[in-house]
Structure 1
């Protein structure tokens, strides 16, 4: 068991958040600001960024390498909370396309720390989501999304950056508990849930800590 509050006293950083208008991204932005970090949010739709008060908002597409370079310039760390809707039939490429462009932009701008959120079901965490997730939700709604998450993870792993891949268990909007489990040995683990608040706290802790550097912890209550 680790406390998500153990490393809150880190030095202030300049952090770029992708996916800042999503439900997890918003919590990352608000918690980062509360910790004293300088936050830049790259958003595609400025109308959705009205409540990101305190953050510097840059309008651009996360798949556009030029826009990414402008947003990445001068940052200490990038947090990717990009998500994509479920897709029954259409191929999903947003996550891998944006991540490939992001890696190129980070290298060009000499920014090397990347904390990237994927999810339970990615990589070797597949088959550990519990009966309903693994047998119903994943094959019917998320198969194409997770194919792209796997491509995204491969791009991050081969990037040469100082990366951490964070795989949350099934997300909910409950209050954070302040303590979570971070697992890489998933033997005997099935199911699990975690709040977006606790995911945000864990992700922010990884901006300087090296405990999970070049690793892919699954985080759960």
Structure 2
């Protein structure tokens, strides 16, 4: 299934917990969520990196700590996970799956059901659709261990029992948003693409109330 999504869609005000808020895409999510009138809480590891997240409630803590997550989840309506990890050619990566497992347990305990999680092109059945350079060079040399953990992360979300959406952006860039994205699940003729972080953030926030992609994992591209 392939759809073209209008990024001008709005949702009513929601209390949102954002993980990964100090990353490039996370910052866009916080900024756009606040502009939509949402109440945003950002769980951050380093307050120094979050100084420009004006308007968001900042909580310092470890995203792998279920106790911290339970405390910050109380009163929230939804969670957006924009967690990322650097390329790791040699060392095993476990942050994404460990944090997601703790998050799912905390959300279940606190009865927060809506989770929108960003993974990436190359996770699950989107592997092999990034184009020659991504699939043959970047992925095997730099991202293989990162994506092994993204696969574990996706499996935890799928088995969670939550109201989840997994979002797999193509290669990210910092260009201005184009006001629409292509959301794809049929990748038979797709071989690479890119998308702005602004457009990813808009699509993510549109999923907080929409059921269009509930329990699915669209790849999104510009």
Which range, TM-score by smaller chain? over 0.9
1:69-108 mapped onto 2 (5 Å cutoff): 69-108=70-109
Deviates more, 1:65-74 or 1:14-23: 65-74
The equivalent of 1:184 in structure 2 is: 185
The equivalent of 1:23 in structure 2 is: 24
Moved over 6 A (4+): none
Alpha-carbon offset, residue 29 of structure 1: 0.1
If the length of structure 1 is used for normalisation, what is the TM-score? 0.98
SS of aligned partner of 1:144: helix
If the length of structure 2 is used for normalisation, what is the TM-score? 0.98
User: Aligned equivalents of 1:101 and 1:2: distance in 2?
Assistant: 32
Aligned partner of 1:3 among 1, 6, 30 = 6
| Residues 76-100 of structure 1 deviation map (CA, whole Å, 9 limit, x = unaligned) | 0000000000001100000000000
The equivalent of 1:212 in structure 2 is: 213
User: Aligned equivalents of 2:69 and 2:19: distance in 1?
Assistant: 10
User: Aligned equivalents of 1:26 and 1:121: distance in 2?
Assistant: 23
| Residues 130-153 of structure 1 deviation map (CA, whole Å, 9 limit, x = unaligned) | 000000000000000000000000
Alpha-carbon offset, residue 2 of structure 1: 1.7
Structure 2: segments with no counterpart, 5+ residues: none
SS of aligned partner of 1:140: helix
User: Aligned equivalents of 2:87 and 2:162: distance in 1?
Assistant: 29
The equivalent of 2:157 in structure 1 is: 156
The equivalent of 1:121 in structure 2 is: 122
Does residue 1:61 correspond to 2:62, yes or no?
Answer: yes
User: Aligned equivalents of 2:199 and 2:173: distance in 1?
Assistant: 10
SS of aligned partner of 1:41: strand
User: Aligned equivalents of 1:71 and 1:44: distance in 2?
Assistant: 13
Alpha-carbon offset, residue 113 of structure 1: 0.2
User: Aligned equivalents of 2:39 and 2:28: distance in 1?
Assistant: 15
Alpha-carbon offset, residue 51 of structure 1: 0.3
| Residues 42-75 of structure 1 deviation map (CA, whole Å, 9 limit, x = unaligned) | 0001111100000000000000101111111110
Compute the RMSD of aligned alpha carbons. Answer: 0.5
Alpha-carbon offset, residue 11 of structure 1: 1.1
